[in-house]
Amino acid sequence: MKSRFGKQKIVASCTGVNDLLKDIQSQIDTRGISLNRVGIKNIDWPLKVYDQANGFQNTVANISLSVALNHDIKGTHMSRFVEVLNNIDILNPQIILSILSSIQTKLDAESSFFECKFPYFIWKESPVSKNISPLKIEAMILGEKNHDKTEIIIGVVVPVQTLCPCSKAISSVGAHNQRANVKILVKTKKKIWFEHLAAIAEMSASSPVYSLLKREDEKYVTEAAYNTPKFVEDVARDAALLLEKEEGLKCYRVEVESHESIHNHEAFAWVEKSLS
């Protein structure tokens, strides 16, 4: 039985494919407004990251990629961001530079941006029993390329314990303590490990926190925090002093947020400084 669709109809349909797949993003925009950033946000991606103790560890990174968009271009090509990610399996500063350059080239942009954060595990020994267990922190890498100038920021968010100096001073028994987070972001001229930044955060607090504590460890941690009372202001300043001793650091930011145990609010402190 002869098809009711003739050959001419099929040819005509095929020649219309290009019309159906018009590149709308590349059309001219006449509103005269440049956009600082356009791109994709919060895409989860399996990656390997370098680990000071074990070489590398597997993680899942939450990534955002973007570019600056000129005033005369209607839109960017979002799929090209994902194409760039398809070519990486391990994260390091050199790979970040490659990603930023690839985005810039593929999307014909003057500026490109990379942001990622991911769970990172540090194996810690409890203070007395010496049991080893993993502590999860949040690690992050931020990158920006403007023309040929590139900047990379390395950071961590580390859980710690703080004990209130005021509560200790006015109470005949005990003092309120709580979990806090210390966020450290740095620009540096030399390699710096996530573990090192995490250690600075912990040294600045009343006490580190651990995943596994036996009774003897719990006694030690409780007494150590009681003997080292700190406000969020103290933690931020002490972390800043430690960072200023680091060689090759260009600038830093420290943000401390305490999840108050007896108040219906959080307490926070923030310090930022350029060193060179």
39: burial class by Cβ within 10 Å (0-12, 13-18, 19+)? Answer: buried
Region of residue 108 (left: phi > 0; alpha: psi -120 to 50; beta: else) = left
Whether the pLDDT of residue 10 is over 90: the answer is: no
The whole-number average pLDDT for the span 83-101 is: 92
Contact 240, 183 (CB under 8 A): no
CA dihedral 99, 196, 159, 238 (to 10 degrees): -120
Contacts with 92 (C-beta within 8 Å, 6 or more apart), sequence order: 49, 50
What does pTM read for this prediction? 0.88
pLDDT tens, residue by residue, 12-58: 445 555 566 666 666 777 798 999 999 999 999 999 999 999 999 99
- Alpha carbon distance 169, 163 (integer Å): 11
Nearest to 193 by CA among 120, 266, 109: 120
